[in-house]
Amino acid sequence: MAPEPRPGRFVVLEGIDGCGKSTQLEALSRWLPASGLLAPGVRVVCTREPGGTLLGQALRQLLLHPPAGAAPLPSAELLLYAADRAQHVEQVIRPALAAGHWLLSDRFSGSTAAYQGYGRGLDLALITQLETIATAGLQPDLTLWLDLPLAESRRRRGDRPGDRIEAGGDAFLEAVNRGFAELAHHRGWRRVDAAAAPQQVTAACQALISRLRDAP
> Given this model, what pLDDT does residue 216 score?
62
User: Is residue 176 in a domain?
Assistant: yes
> Given this model, what pLDDT does residue 157 score?
80
Q: What is the CATH number of the domain that holds 41?
A: 3.40.50.300
Task: Please report the sign of the dihedral spanned by the C-alpha atoms of residue 49, residue 50, residue 51, residue 54.
Answer: positive
User: Is residue 84 in a domain?
Assistant: yes
Q: What would the pLDDT profile of 162-203 be if each residue is shown by its tens digit?
A: 778 877 888 999 999 999 999 999 999 999 999 999 999 999
By CB neighbour count within 10 A (0-12 exposed, 13-18 middle, 19+ buried), where does 118 fall? buried
> Given this model, what pLDDT does residue 2 score?
43
Cis peptide before 50 (omega within 30 of 0): yes
> Given this model, what pLDDT does residue 163 score?
79
Domain count, the chain: 1
Contact (CB, 8 A) for 113 and 122 = no
User: Is residue 206 in a domain?
Assistant: yes
Domain with 89 in it: 9-214
Cβ neighbours of residue 213 closer than 8 Å, sequence gap 6 or more: 36, 37
User: Which amino acid is present at 4?
Assistant: E
Contact (CB, 8 A) for 126 and 120 = no
Residues of the chain with pLDDT under 70: 1-6, 161, 214-216
> Given this model, what pLDDT does residue 3 score?
45
User: Is residue 1 in a domain?
Assistant: no
User: Is residue 3 in a domain?
Assistant: no
User: Is residue 46 in a domain?
Assistant: yes
User: Is residue 2 in a domain?
Assistant: no
Q: Global pTM?
A: 0.93
> Given this model, what pLDDT does residue 167 score?
78
Q: What would the pLDDT profile of 142-161 be if each residue is shown by its tens digit?
A: 999 999 999 998 888 877 76
User: Is residue 4 in a domain?
Assistant: no
